[in-house]
């Protein structure tokens, strides 16, 4: 049993790292100043689907906030920590609610993506005011929706293999 627990911790750590790298490596400039679209959300959503709420929160909060710090967006790190952590958490909780049935992966991931866009809007209201925050909503929605689709595709391809390999 201890080996399985250690394997899960190691897998979560790898997913935190993949979330960070997915955020840093593939950056598509967005319509907002200093903003970009990345695939980090794909990994944090996938983590939530595969490993559950706490793992989804860890990948989202730690992986994404670390990416903000490394990319020079430190002002966003606290907002990102909360918003992306909640994105991974809610994705996993909704998937649990539907008893891990594959046909509900898109509902779970889209919910997480929409929560992310709303969370950034609220956070950015404190930084830039409502008008400034509204400017990033479209880019964040595009990020959330596209990553939701990518996470579902990744889950469909890998979840059975990973669950078997790591006895999850």
Chain mean pLDDT for the chain? 92
Token pair for residue 164?
Answer: 């078997």
CA distance 50 to 25: 23
- 80 contacts 64 by C-beta, under 8 angstroms: yes
The pTM for the full model equals: 0.92
For residue 152, the number of C-alpha atoms closer than 13 Å in the C-beta half-sphere is 19
What is the CATH number for 101? 1.10.1760.20
CA distance 138 to 147: 14
Helix/strand/coil for 31: coil
Please, what is the Cα angle at 36 between 31 and 40, to 5 degrees?
145
CA distance 50 to 107: 15
Token pair for residue 40?
Answer: 């980090």
Percent of the chain with pLDDT over 70: 95
Q: What is the pLDDT of residues 28-60, one digit of tens each?
A: 776 655 567 899 999 999 999 999 999 999 999
* Nearest Cα residue to 162 out of 17, 154, 24: 154
- How many domains, the chain? 1
- 68 contacts 80 by C-beta, under 8 angstroms: yes
Range(s) of the domain holding residue 43? 2-165
């Amino acid at each position: 049993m201890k080996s399985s627990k250690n394997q899960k911790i190691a897998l979560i750590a790898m997913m935190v790292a993949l979330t960070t790298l997915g955020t840093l490596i593939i950056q598509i400039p967005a319509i907002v100043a200093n903003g970009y679209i990345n695939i980090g959300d794909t990994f944090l959503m996938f983590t939530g689907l595969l490993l559950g709420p706490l793992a989804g929160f860890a990948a989202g909060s730690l992986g994404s906030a670390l990416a903000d710090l490394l990319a020079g967006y430190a002002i966003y790190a606290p907002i990102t920590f909360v918003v992306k952590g909640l994105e991974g958490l809610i994705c996993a909780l909704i998937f649990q609610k539907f008893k891990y049935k594959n046909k509900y992966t898109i509902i779970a991931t889209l919910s997480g993506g929409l929560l992310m866009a709303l969370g950034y809007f609220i956070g950015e209201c404190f930084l830039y005011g409502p008008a400034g925050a509204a400017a990033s909503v479209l880019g964040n929605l595009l990020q959330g929706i596209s990553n939701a689709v990518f996470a579902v595709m990744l889950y469909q391809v890998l979840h059975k293999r990973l669950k078997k390999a790591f006895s999850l």
